A and B are shown apart, each in its own frame.
Chain A
Amino acid sequence: MVCAVEAIPYEKIKSQFTQGERVSIVTCNTCTRSQEAGGAKLMEEMSELLVKDVGIEVVEEIVLTTGCNADYYDQANPRDDVDKILCLGCWAGWTVIKRKFPDIPVIAGVRTLGIPELSEMKAVVPPKEIEG
């Protein structure tokens, strides 16, 4: 697997949104999907829960073949009229979104554990804006 990830607990994600916020959700369909931390199905479930539990307005859901490919994100023509973006991709995918929209808070819904090398896991350094 390219990078190892785990889903951040729903309660922790939920606590970062407030009622009425307009939210875009972006997920990666490679590493995070195969490790059940992202992908279309999980994104739809997360979206429904956040609408029901918090009362956010999900204005857009984007599934990227590879979240760390900036061209794919550009081609998805993401909206800039949102209050927050929820990233269900790895931290590299998070940087792609943050670089395009530096002024919009990008909530990480996935924690990147590192890069596997056989049975070892090489840790990576989290961006300062993300709680590792």
Chain B
Amino acid sequence: MIVVLRDIDYEQLKEQITTDDRIIVWSCNDCTKYCDLGGRKNLNALADALEKDGYNVIHRELIGVGCQPPLIRLRSQHPATKDIFGSASVIVVLSCTDGFLKTQRVFKKQKVIQIGVSVGLGAYSKKEGMRLVIPMDGIGLEPSIEGYSLDEVAKKLGKKSGPLV
């Protein structure tokens, strides 16, 4: 699975949107969920927080695997979702970097906001959660069979881990 951290926090996200925006909160339900950044729980928590703060969240979308172009395109074309995506001005994406870039490519008319950043491959267990075991080249970490906790990696890389809210 991809290990997904983030560069921004909730306050920094709010700086990128306005109360006039028609916002869709979008999340991958695979790797990003296992990194406790996305998934249904975190998708709803973020959407609820934005609504509470006066933002216009028009839709919440959970996508099984957020890096699969056919699944992303389906949202832009399917009769059930086409209109709502067409009417959005902002899509906040809780996915890995690849998922974000592919979502941005499909929804060209909307401002697509990146939250997740990929840093390598991880191994997951319920007991320990996600741990980075195979880092991306160039981030300054060696592979580790035991792995690094996401907090450790975030601290090392100057990033953040876990949910936005």
> What 1/0 mask marks residues of chain B from 112 to 132 whose CB sits below 8 Å from any chain A CB?
000000101111111010000
How many residues from B make CB contacts under 8 Å with A? 34
| Complex contacts, B67 vs chain A, CB 8 Å | 1-2, 116
Taking CB atoms and an 8 Å cut-off, the chain B residues in 84-125 that contact chain A are 96-98, 101-102, 105, 118, 120-125
Q: Do residues A70 and B125 form an inter-chain contact, with CB atoms below 8 A? A: yes
Q: Does B137 contact A (CB under 8 A)?
A: yes
Q: Do residues B30 and A2 form an inter-chain contact, with CB atoms below 8 A? A: yes
Q: Do residues A118 and B121 form an inter-chain contact, with CB atoms below 8 A? A: no
How many residues from A make CB contacts under 8 Å with B? 31
Stretch of A13-21, A37-45, A80-88, A119-127 lying at the B interface: A119-127
If A117-B101, A118-B105 touch, whether A127 touches B1 (CB-CB below 8 Å) is no
Interface residues of B (CB under 8 A from A): 1-2, 30-31, 65, 67-68, 96-98, 101-102, 105, 118, 120-126, 128, 133-137, 141-147
